[in-house]
Amino acid sequence: MKPVVTSLSAVFVASLVLGACEKSDNVAQLHDEAVATAKYYTPRADQLDKRRQAIFQRGRNVPGNLPDVPEIVRLIGDAGDKVNEMKGITGSLTKQADDAAKANKADELEKLIDESSEKLETDETLANDDLTHVEAWLWQYEQSRGAVA
């Protein structure tokens, strides 16, 4: 009977060791995923920011007394806010992932990835929509100005 207990305890210890290794591998994979998320969205945020700045420059000569200008200014501001949020998330995501990985917190990494990915995707979509709306408005303004001139 004693050898059976020893065998069971050996199996139990082995399962604990394997479970710890699996969790460690999972933490490493989750860390890599979080870092990859930051690397994926950083250039996307930069591209949106450059686009927003170009639109802003393009619209500098638009008269401020046009009826749609306050809405256009609001959309440009909203897009800028979303881009800044994206930059803040991508700028801190790697450090947060490093800290969670060092503490071996797989759950925290999963939450960080899920929340960051969702927020980044939403902000990117909203900023893109706002900028597209402003570009369309500017195009209409430029076309009407060209027809008058």
Backbone φ and ψ of 39, nearest 5°: -65, -30
CA angle 19, 24, 29 (to 5 degrees): 125
pTM: 0.80
Query: Which residues touch 130 (CB under 8 Å, ≥6 apart)?
Result: 75, 76, 78, 79, 82
Residue with tokens 């969205």: 41
Cα 29 from Cα 52, distance rounded (Å): 35
Q: How far apart are CA 102 and CA 40, in angstroms?
A: 23
pLDDT computed for residue 1 by the predictor: 47
State pLDDT tens for residues 13-27. Answer: 343 344 444 455 799
User: What pLDDT band is residue 42 in, cutting at 50, 70 and 90?
Assistant: very high
Is pLDDT above 60 for 51?
A: yes
